[in-house]
Amino acid sequence: MLFSQQYQQLPTVDKQTGERDSFRKDTRKRGFCLRAIAIIAIMWASLTAARMFRSKGFWSACHGLQRNSSTLAQLPSHYTLPSGDKIPSVALGVWQASKGETALEVGYKHIDGAWIYRNEEEVGQALKESSVPREELWLTSKLWNTFHAPEDIEPALDQSLSMLGTDYLDLYLIHWPVAFKKEGSNILDENLTADPYPTWQKLEELVDKGKIRNIGISNFNIRRVQNLTANKLKYQPAVNQWSKENGLLLEAYSPLGSDKQVGQSLSVPEVKDVASKLGITPAQVLISWHVQRGTIVLPKSVTPSRILENLNVFELPQEDFEKLETAATSHPPQRVVNPSNGWKLPFDVFDGQ
């Protein structure tokens, strides 16, 4: 039931963090071509989706897309990691998404999953039903906190691989810089939490074994990134979900503010203004802004019309982009995901950073 075309139809523009200007030049040169391809892609996606979901919600969401998105350039569809692999800039997040809700129909090639989301079997089923060849997909999974001990990592990975129905992951992340002992619920393994290097070494071994193509980290603050990278690593972490350091590509999770704050995020006046000016939706403004800042973005939705909507990113005019930057930095950062209290950790996992 799953198929996709859109990334195939869009040009693959490689962009490393910090190369926005050269990308822009490139974009202008290819402006006409990009626009033409974008129009075809959007029409294709709309027609396909129309066949799939004949709902009023879908059409109202699409209306915004069709109106004048053709006047906006496309943002990069991929970034290149140190391994040379190209990671699609927009993923479908599948936290709190269950069966049948991981829709590759509209062109997602990047699925951001995790062992702990407890839906890898459903994701695997959806992938199996899709006609997208494995090598065109980007599958991310995450090592859960109870499996950080070197001897537990490969069995945990194998379980994810088997549920997903694949023999390799494109990216495997240490989900949190928090190691729990396997026997108890949330009993901290202090050594592996303080120093994740043994965990990392095992992951490097699994890269060499061909079971993982790239390894990365998630929820590591700067101090923790530096602690890990102070070791002589065979493979540097390729990405960090949420915070960015030198040479690490940022993956922005909960880009809409997660369930709790999505309403608030979408009604920020600057976001609404830019959306109505450009004829796109507030969610598209936020997702585009993330990609334009040079990050991978992982919006989650279980709603077909939104799944389609969220894949369509647009290069925002500079003045609108700056308006959003100003709005975003005019208040202290608000963290929406922090399990430190829930896990009764004797420290804040982010150390307030």
Ligand X SMILES: *[C@@H]1O[C@H](CO)[C@@H](O)[C@H](O)[C@H]1NC(C)=O
Question: Does 98 interact with ligand X (rule: CB under 6 A)?
Answer: no
State how far the Cα of 272 lies from the Cα of 266, in Å rounded to an integer. Answer: 7
Q: Is residue 194 near ligand X by the rule CB under 6 A?
A: yes
Could you tell me how many residues of this chain bind ligand NAP (CB under 6 A)? 28
Q: Which of 157, 272, 134, 255 is nearest to 203 (CA)?
A: 157
Residue with Cβ nearer ligand NAP (309 or 320):
309
Question: Tokens for 253?
Answer: 């999770």
Residues in region 100-119 near ligand NAP by CB under 6 A: 112
Exactly one of 79, 108, 117, 253 is catalytic; which is it? 117
The least CB distance from residue 313 to ligand NAP, in Å, is 12
Q: Give whichever of 149 and 173 is closer to ligand NAP, judged by the CB atom.
A: 173
Q: Please tell me whether residue 60 adopts helix, strand or coil conformation.
A: helix
Distance CA 336, CA 234 (A): 33
Question: How far is residue 320 from each of residues 270, 288, 309, measured CA to CA in Å?
Answer: 9, 11, 20
Segment contacting ligand X (CB under 6 A): 64-72, 106-114, 288-296, 338-346?
A: 64-72
Residues in region 261-320 near ligand NAP by CB under 6 A: 262, 266, 283, 298-303, 306, 309-310
| 254 DSSP 8-state letter | S
Judge contact between 40 and 74, C-beta under 8 A: no
CA atoms 42, 45, 50, 53: torsion sign: negative
Round to whole Å and give the CA distance between 169 and 166: 8
What are the φ/ψ torsions at residue 342 (nearest 5 degrees)? -60, -35
Range 4-63, binding ligand NAP (CB under 6 A):
none
Residue closer to ligand NAP by CB (options 27, 244) is 244
Closest CA to 67 of 319, 317, 309: 309
Out of 98, 191, 326, 353, which residue is the one contacting ligand X (CB under 6 A)?
Answer: 191
231 makes contact, choosing from ligand NAP, ligand X, none, with CB < 5 to 8 Å by partner type, with ligand X
Q: Are strands 86-88 and 78-80 parallel, antiparallel or unpaired?
A: antiparallel
Stretch that binds ligand NAP, among 17-25, 123-131, 143-151, 249-257 (CB under 6 A): 249-257
43 vs 337, beta carbon nearer ligand NAP: 337
First-last CA distance in the chain: 43
Pairing of strands 110-112, 138-143: parallel
Considering only 254, 288, 292, 312, the residue that binds ligand NAP (CB under 6 A) is: 254
Whole-number minimum distance, CB 296 to ligand X, in Å? 26
117 catalytic? Reply is yes
User: Which tokens is 220 given?
Assistant: 């590591």
258 binding ligand NAP? (CB under 6 A): yes
Task: Write out the binding residues for ligand NAP, residues 118-177 only, by CB under 6 A.
Answer: 175
Largest CA distance in the chain: 59
Instruction: Taking the CA atoms of 224, 227, 229 and 235 in sequence, report the sign of the dihedral they define.
Output: negative
Site string for ligand X, 284-303 (x = CB under 6 A): --------------------
Active site members: 117
Which residues are near ligand NAP by CB under 6 A? 93-95, 112, 175, 218-219, 241, 253-259, 262, 266, 283, 298-303, 306, 309-310, 337
Which residues are near ligand X by CB under 6 A? 67-68, 71, 191, 194-195, 227, 230-231, 277-279
